[in-house]
Structure 1
Amino acid sequence: MRAIVYSESGTSDVLRLEERPVGEPGPGELRVRIAVSGVNPTDWKNRSGGGSGTNELDEQTPNQDGAGVVDAVGEGVNGFAEGDRVWLYLSAYQRPSGTAQEYAVVLARHAVRLPDGVSFDVGASLGVPAMTAHRALTVHEGGPTRLAHGALEGRTVLVAGGAGAVGHAAIQLAHWAGATVITTVSSASKAALAASAGADVIVNYREEDAAARIREAAPDGVDLIVEVSPARNAALDAEVLAPHGSVAVYATDGGGVMELDVRAHFVLNARYQFVLLYTVGQEALDAAAEDITAALLDDALPVGEEAGLPLTRFALEDTAAAHDAVSDGTVGKVLVDVADL
């Protein structure tokens, strides 16, 4: 089979296309024929040696997320059969078998049934973005701890950077769950994408007084902030957060050190929750997978420019270019086409 591999950290030049034998699934594993592989920032960061989840395996196939068809079922695995359509997450975490290959041997607990009628493009776009968004939306002091249609009714959610993959998923999930969704963007084109994703209020922070606009939309403050850039946005978040509000931080865009006005947060009884999918725990991952499946059944997580998430595609042999596209900040979702299933 064709597989993208690398044996040392570095730039995308370390990625190479090789022929490798098809692996056999062991106990608790599945072999999945990959249709589409999804690329996330964590993939190029791990490859470069600077991201969480980096391991010291002799040879690694990159990419955590993907979608395809179960090809073989390992011993002790229940709930899956050959031919099942699935989406995958954290495939390459502390394992050699990411999704940038024709057949991937993965942990069965990191595979989720893909409902009939839901495309492999959607499946490969879930994983890290949607599960991170789910966790960020379920850490508020007053709950909910699970998402469902209407679960966030009466809540106001602020999504920082709504045009990114996690931001896009957060808008979609929050909208599906009934929240009023406010998002910040940096351009008119990104505003259009956020609107297509389902945001109710869109604030261009480069052209408007972001705090004033957010407070206008949410006079009592926002209940939950899904935060991509805590170092840049800590002061803004403190200005717009409601009493007992929560800030869920899932990235460090703009720097890894932030300053907080301690007294302002005391008054608010505010909560900061940091979200890293690798170490969030299997219980939270399972909850996210179940709720995301419910959202898929409601057609709440479409992809494509018309849904606010443009798709940029690469062939398997061009996976290095796909990694570079993500590291260069390509707007939307970068996918690698592996097989036509």
Structure 2
Amino acid sequence: MPPALPAFDVNMQAIVYSRPGDSSVLSLVERPLPVPAAGEVRVRIAVSGVNPTDWKARASNPTVPGEIVPNQDGAGVVDAVGADVAGLAVGDRVWIYMAAHGRPTGTAQEYTVVPAARVVPLPDEASFEVGASLGVPAMTAHRALTVHEFGPARLAPGALTGRVVLVAGGAGAVGHAAIQLARWAGALVIATVSSPEKAALATAAGADHTIEYTTEHVASRIREIAPDGVDQIVEVSLAVNAGLDAEIVANHASVAYYADDGGSGFTMPIRPSFAKNVRVQGLLLYTVGQAALDAAAEDVAAAVRDGALPVGAAAGLPLHDYPLAQTAAAHDAVEHAAIGKVLIHVAEL
């Protein structure tokens, strides 16, 4: 039997918004402590992660259904378990993904209730900062690395041995996770960056080679490193890079893109792309389907257990910390392209 649950007269602090807009629509309020229903767990949040989709959803959602608590990702400790939940217990350290997808309650609060399927065990040796940095970035990177025509559909040590992976924007959160996962799986990793400082971050993440696209001829450098071409590209800016990608890919390569370039389209040269049987794969974590989410969560969890997904400046992903009351400033930092990972420290657990 699950433990007894507290009554609704117990309150907690939460960040909410009830209309779309800039970060000024966010406010700190007290709300009743939620109780998990069947198939759900309640997690006491230690750290909440902020992603671009969090501020974009807050800014652009024209039909806000009452009060919404933002932020998809987080980490903490299971505090209560609803009926029909297996594999999770009170006291378990966990990380959470897509907490607010299809629901009005995310991780920018002291406690959150989420479906058990979106809660993943976090090893004792992994910090809550690591756990809150997984979710959207790491699972997006996993999907980008598993859409090649010849697989692999899952990542593990050795799964990408012999492959050359190009990560465009290697200093971003998704790029950072893609470098780490690709290296963990055995690939040779090239990262493109815009500055020496970002090159240092990509190298710290594990990239074998970095190319500064602002000062170097990218295609020439890639041909030096990988004469037969790149097998897989994790692409942050397809509208800008489609021509380059078609030029430097190997036969049967995949180009997986996950960002929208502000809604612009892209043009890819026809002859090199069809002659090389290039697979151009769009991906959005929120619509990718449960099977892909389950695979990503399992493989990312395995990489965490192997110590392959560290965070912090020494690991190539500087952390920017904010208290819960400054969630608006945290959203602004992500909107203004802070380099690294923006985290909200909710509680010391």
Length-normalised TM-score, structure 2: 0.95
Letter in 1 for 2:232: L
1:55, 1:288 → 2: CA distance?
30
CA spacing shift, 1:55–1:38, aligned 2, 3 Å: farther
The answer to whether the 8 A contact 1:229-1:254 is kept is: no
Aligned to 1:32: 43
Q: Give the CA deviation at 1:10.
A: 0.5
Say if 2:197 is the partner of 1:186: no
1:13, 1:56 → 2: CA distance?
15
Aligned to 1:124: 132
Q: Give the CA deviation at 1:154.
A: 0.2
2:94, 2:203 → 1: CA distance?
29
**What SS class does the counterpart of residue 261 from structure 2 fall into?**
coil
Aligned to 1:46: 57
Give the paired residue count.
338
Q: Give the CA deviation at 1:56.
A: 3.4
1:83, 1:13 → 2: CA distance?
35
The answer to whether the 8 A contact 1:231-1:254 is kept is: no
2:67, 2:240 → 1: CA distance?
37
Letter in 2 for 1:23: P
Say if 2:285 is the partner of 1:282: no
Within 5 A, what are the aligned runs for 1:1-341?
1-49=12-60, 56-253=64-261, 255-341=263-349
**What SS class does the counterpart of residue 156 from structure 2 fall into?**
coil
1:318, 1:274 → 2: CA distance?
34
2:154, 2:60 → 1: CA distance?
34
1:26, 1:55 → 2: CA distance?
26
Deviations 1:315-334 (A, max 9, x none): 00000000000000000000
2:301, 2:128 → 1: CA distance?
14
The answer to whether the 8 A contact 1:248-1:273 is kept is: yes
* Aligned-CA RMSD value: 1.0
1:9, 1:247 → 2: CA distance?
34
1:260, 1:196 → 2: CA distance?
32
Q: Give the CA deviation at 1:254.
A: 6.0
Unaligned runs of 5+ in 2: 1-11
**What SS class does the counterpart of residue 94 from structure 2 fall into?**
strand
**What SS class does the counterpart of residue 336 from structure 1 fall into?**
strand
CA spacing shift, 1:143–1:276, aligned 2, 3 Å: same
1:232, 1:22 → 2: CA distance?
47
Q: Give the CA deviation at 1:150.
A: 1.1
Aligned to 2:7: none
2:335, 2:164 → 1: CA distance?
31
1:31, 1:205 → 2: CA distance?
45
2:117, 2:270 → 1: CA distance?
41
Identity over aligned pairs, percent: 67
1:240, 1:263 → 2: CA distance?
13
Deviations 1:175-218 (A, max 9, x none): 01000000100000000000000000100000000111011111
2:97, 2:14 → 1: CA distance?
18
Unaligned runs of 5+ in 1: none
1:204, 1:85 → 2: CA distance?
39
Q: Give the CA deviation at 1:116.
A: 1.6
Q: Give the CA deviation at 1:265.
A: 1.0
1:102, 1:55 → 2: CA distance?
25
Deviations 1:250-295 (A, max 9, x none): 1123652101112221101110111100011111111111111111
2:204, 2:262 → 1: CA distance?
26
Letter in 1 for 2:110: E
1:203, 1:95 → 2: CA distance?
41
Length-normalised TM-score, structure 1: 0.98
The answer to whether the 8 A contact 1:232-1:254 is kept is: no
1:254, 1:95 → 2: CA distance?
25
Q: Give the CA deviation at 1:243.
A: 0.7
